[in-house]
Amino acid sequence: MRTEDLEEKLRLVLRNAEEVITVDELRELLKEENPTTYVGYEPSGKIHLGHLLTVNKLIDLQNAGFRVIVLLADVHAYLNEKGSFEEIEKIAEMNRISFISLGLDEKNTRFVLGSDYEFERDYMLNVLKMARMTTINRGRRSMDEVSRRKADPLISQMIYPLMQAMDIAYLGVDLAVGGIDQRKIHMLARENLPRLGFRAPVCLHTPILLGLDGEKMSSSKGNFISIDDPPELVERKIRKALCPPAEIENNPVIQMFMYHIFPRYSRVVIEREEKYGGDVEYNRFDEFRSDYVNGKIHPADIKMAAAKYINELIEPARKRIVKEVSD
């Protein structure tokens, strides 16, 4: 592989990543033919812009030559108190439909249910072996960011990170992708999988997006945009979203442009009335960011543009979900 091609693939994989452990290992992995990456999703509710962030990264990885596995982690969802198996199974199928509708290449994406293999003897034996290597405190720390019960955790939530580590090995994953809240679980996998004879994965972590109010995104607060929200609701939510003038940090609307809009559009237009300077066009996020910081574009204008582009991005999934529900 030419050095220029390798560096372009590396740039694409690293775009909007919070961290990679390690970049040198990733560079070597990119020299291999068709390496494998995966993300695991608990089927536990509506798909929202937080999920779209990792979908965008999987699209980057497909474009960089990775084979993509999406684990619909139904057993993990059950262990983490996200519903009955019957409820979780229905949500998992809607998740699969949604991810394809959001732009994943269906021909190059393998969808796997955890329950299809996680009850097999060899898999469970290796989970038990890992349990003998892992202290209760380490298991609990691994789950701190993703557990529903931090103060009074269940034993099931100690099993969860051990299974997640074993998923990486069982699915033949070279690059494990997840939010930065998955970091401790991934580090558990990097440390313990080689002790069981498996390869330690390279790990890529994406940021945790802000809710529309600038606080942590939460289903209980309703401070997120779901991909089945009607267009007018998306517009209304974004109009009300926190968007401090000239500020980039802790600005959920700016995050929409950084993580969702610019990765998908080579040309982004902010529409404005002539009396406010007319339309302005951007080809790169850094140009857009610079103008916003310098007060050259107004929060109201970027909110209108964000609503337009977010609605375009989620429209295929929204239509598919509406059709599935009506059928």
CA geometry: angle 6, 10, 15, nearest 5 deg = 150
Percent of the chain whose pLDDT exceeds 70: 96
| Average pLDDT of every residue of the chain | 92
pLDDT value at residue 54: 93
Task: Name the fold adopted by 231-326.
Answer: Tyrosyl-Transfer RNA Synthetase (1.10.240)
pLDDT value at residue 222: 83
pLDDT value at residue 150: 64
What is the CATH code of the structural domain delimited by 3-206? 3.40.50.620
Taking the domains of the chain in order of start, what are their residue ranges?
Answer: 3-206, 231-326
Cβ burial 234-244 (10 Å sphere, 16+ → b, else e) = bbebbeebbbe
Look up the pTM and report it. 0.92
Number of other CB atoms surrounding residue 140 within 10 Å: 16
- Do 3-206 and 231-326 agree at the fold level? no
Distance CA 23, CA 285 (A): 23
pLDDT value at residue 326: 64
pLDDT block averages, 10 residues each, the chain of length 327: 86 96 96 94 88 94 96 93 90 92 92 96 96 89 68 80 96 96 94 96 95 84 91 97 95 97 96 93 97 96 97 93 71
pLDDT value at residue 149: 59
